[in-house]
Structure 1
């Protein structure tokens, strides 16, 4: 086994929590759950006994007000990408171990700053000024030793060359993060890394296999893991400036065609495709209008030109709608910048030999219709949280990422259970619900009906159920929105969801 490489590990404690909650401190007592197991928790939660590895019920038993959020590894990686880019600016060759943990070779940066301890202190200062004061740095023989040093109480910990075994000896075997083998070691009475390293390598391989031999080498400070430095990001941004500002959307769209082609050429050279782009429009007053755009698969040059046109049309419509802001509105576009924000490996978007034709034709057809009708001419529906059916519908333009304003996973007491009506009326459709005598039905404060529903819009009622009261935003002026829901089936076998509010009846939806 080759000699361990001197490396520098940067550790950002509780990174999944920062990715989920942001950088505003202090964080309220919060735990991230995966499969009902705590994978991360804030310091305020740890003060009440919440620990990583606890089951959800046990953690909430320690702190009833504990806020529980689902763990999203993809979100952790997306949030850590800017940090990697920041480290890359100060020390090229950084390698991602996992979100919140990065490693780089110590030789280059330590030579430049006059030593490993000085280099680590300088990096801590730079990252602290950039908004990451929690960073911890460890330097040692190999990533395992350096990571263990970084998790110590000091901001910077340097393990001298050749002293990794002595440094690791007092640590418990659990730091190896292998439950199966550490469980066997504990049952055998081996509790520290020093005791594990003292075992013969042949005996360990015979008893625990190659994986056990690898862990014993880590415990002995012989970490020979190779580093794969993160390649520098290709320059994908392209821009164009106009000597004479252009005022028409079609003029600007025509002028940026070559710029869009240049962006696609840069993406092709990097073997990536763009799934999210930001377009910056600069007017002749120096004001910049920026907007991100998403794509359901990946952008091509014509898609980029369309987004420039749609952004200009939206700005023109906003100016026409609000003449007061006419002085601040653009009088002409002097520069356009197209910045790919999110890219993906081009191999993931290659058409398959079978089964991809329908999706491609669908996307092509919908995109053509959207080009003719405008950005908001074609929308897709997503489900959000809420008690009223109209509130649960979120319409998003084709190609945009649907963002639910109300979390559908949160509890919504009084909401309609599944199955939901297939047709939702926006706005609700007024109708008449009367009793057998033709009189309008009233509902008192206790939810009692003046008579049973017999007719709905002149059609006889076959069956009905209800009422179910719904009353939300009680603290709002006027008492909030309230009413009583019913399910009604008429003699034509049509099922309706209706509600009564203020003495009037409305059709909220209809079942198919």
Structure 2
């Protein structure tokens, strides 16, 4: 069952935090930039035409008075600590999702204040009075739906999250991810693909079968699909970690500086991650606890949208320590140096949910990752031979197999054919996902059972009705496109080559004694009076 959550959202928080740190008045347009692009901008800047994703020069061209700040998660977390403290005064047990967003189970405050609407009003007023920050509150089933409700200041009825999310744009999946992380990059690619497929709303995406989403888009898309359906980020199969997974560090001498505490936190993060990895686990909710020399106990929980890497753990610990040691919330400011630091993995999932890329880990310098991978490839070549490790180089050509050249690792990555000149007859996008090294023979038949050919004017002799591959059963043609002719070296009699390609969508053969996939899309090429399977669309 999806838990009912209350989310407190502070709009444009990175801009708010940067402006407060710089003493900038709220009526001055401002934006936070990362990699020379706008990641967050204030409402005043949006009124002048500034938008997320704009380059710095274009943003300042639209708004010459724009004040820009560098992206600084430590600054954002430090400034957000007073807000978390203010919410915790009314609803204990808050979880920081990221600076600017805090969540708490809705049952407690709703029951205490006499309803979700009343609790939302009290929290908004209290945060404004104590922290001096504007915020919005949303209540819904599930963290993602509650976050979207907070952006609209709504209380979604129990069981209504799916209906509430259905008309929203699929871009909300990307907006909800923490910018700059792996989730944000994968979500951006997924959202772009969904829009190109004609799936513009969360409801349209949620209507797809989960099995088809997993097979077509991958594991990251399954998580996004669950969010679009109004479910929890992960199925309710999470484990409560054993006590021995807790890691504790006694700070001797005690520390009262952020840099010293952060140094100890990084080593502690490595220990925690190593202990979880030994058991095949990864952390999704991290409890950070500190004890001072005078016995004061400080505690905060960070909820994470994706399983944490060592760098992710260390970053959140550093942000929280900076908020405690240098924050402005006097209620939580320690009166003595920290003597004990403990990390508590309050919720874990299978480590299969965390899969880093081959070339780099999360937060790792890409150059170091590429160098490490290169050494591994050279080692494999020493064991198995130079051609054991090859990489594809895309070049010119008309057919999918003609455009790829396989180059042994370490050799010059030069294409076989220049990709720049025009290539008449090149197949339009998308390209087949599978290109066999040895194309299988095929038969393309018309309604009368005769072979379908291509005339000298590049027109098929009849509409394809059935296709048989490698002597298998004939399967009906549900749709087809083409042909795309390709005539090469027409001026040289001995080198002239004439081909024509068509795309066909095949249904099942209808034979109950045969196991075969459902609908299959093929790229067929006609050359020398016969058909070959040149590619398969997955």
- TM-score, normalized by the shorter chain, greater than 0.5: no
- Give 1 or 2 for the bigger CA radius of gyration: 1
**TM-score of the aligned structures, taking structure 2 as reference length:** 0.43
